[in-house]
Amino acid sequence: MSQPTQHVLLIAPVMDALQQQLDAHYTVHRLYQQPDAAAWLAENGANVGAVVTRGDVGVTSAVLENLSQVGVIAIFGVGTDAVDLEYARRRHIAVTVTAGALTDDVADLAFGLLLSSARQLCLGDRFVREGRWLQESPALATQVSRKRIGIFGMGNIGRAIARRASGFDMDIYYTDRQADNTLPYHWCDDVLSLAQRSDFFVVAVSGGKESQGIVNREVFQVLPVHALVINIARGSIINEPDLIAALQNGDIAGAGLDVFVDEPNVPAEFIGMDNVVLQPHVASATHETRQRMSHIVFENVQAYFNGQPLPHRIN
């Protein structure tokens, strides 16, 4: 087997430290800087041995078609919905993610959105800054402790959210592809039965074709009217028009959203609602976690070029 070519194709910008580390060891090409990406790929694609990309961007099969020597796709993130895994399997292209590095941060933000939505932290901050406290009392908020939380997706992040919920003495329900009898939580057969039992409905399931739009009008209709919806997974999992309608009609009480279908374009309806807390897809955006993610990406690229087993391969 010939030594893979030491050229890396960077699909989208990543942390400066990671880019500098890749630059120091390999020949790095930045596809996002090419004025004519198709022409560049046609002329240079055969030299590329590794692809580095972000989870929210991925890499298209059309790009990979031009990379005859590529052997690994190293994803900065845990989302694989923007990569055709079946195509990668057929081409024998390894796919790696930064699993584990961002679990705590994403779970922290999920609970931050839950608390902010329930206790109206953003409204309270504005209430003080606008001087309204001098003339009136703030509105009452919603208790979090000892309430029911429904977690849709009990992977690493879902489990971390559940552990945090247990600290608030919450009654924890969940659904996923299958029940895990080792977990001390209440299993629900499907997303609708989970929604019926949720004061707080947290979306933590993986994105992709299987989950696209699965949290929709049916779910919002069976949620209690006082329920809050939290999404730190992928914007595509929630049918946004259905969520907007549910909020406008009072079918649910509010939402906390870190992800959207067409980022960074957030629907104006969300922006105009006081009962929706918005974040710019920053669940893993801490110095510590992004450094760990960068290290994992480089570790996988280095292992591939050195002919070693890939430590974070998923396929």
187/173 Cα distance (integer angstroms): 6
305/49 Cα distance (integer angstroms): 8
- Quick one: 186 exposed, middle or buried, by C-beta within 10 A (0-12, 13-18, 19+)? middle
Q: To which H or E segment does residue 111 belong?
A: helix 103-118
307/31 Cα distance (integer angstroms): 25
Active site residue 287: no
Q: How many CA atoms lie within 13 A of 212 on its CB side?
A: 6
Tell me which long-range contacts 191-196 makes (C-beta under 8 A, separation of at least 24).
191/152, 191/215, 191/219, 192/218, 192/219, 192/222, 194/150, 194/152, 195/150, 195/219, 195/220, 195/222, 195/223, 195/227, 196/222, 196/223, 196/224
| Per-residue DSSP letter, 55 | T
203/260 Cα distance (integer angstroms): 12
Three-state SS sequence of 202-216: EECCCCCHHHCCCEC
The one-letter code for the residue type at 135 is Q
Active site residue 234: yes
- From the candidates 281, 292, 295, 313, which is the catalytic residue? 281
Active site residue 281: yes
- From the candidates 234, 240, 290, 312, which is the catalytic residue? 234
Nearest by Cα to 292 from 315, 312, 306, 314: 312
Which residues are designated catalytic?
234, 263, 281
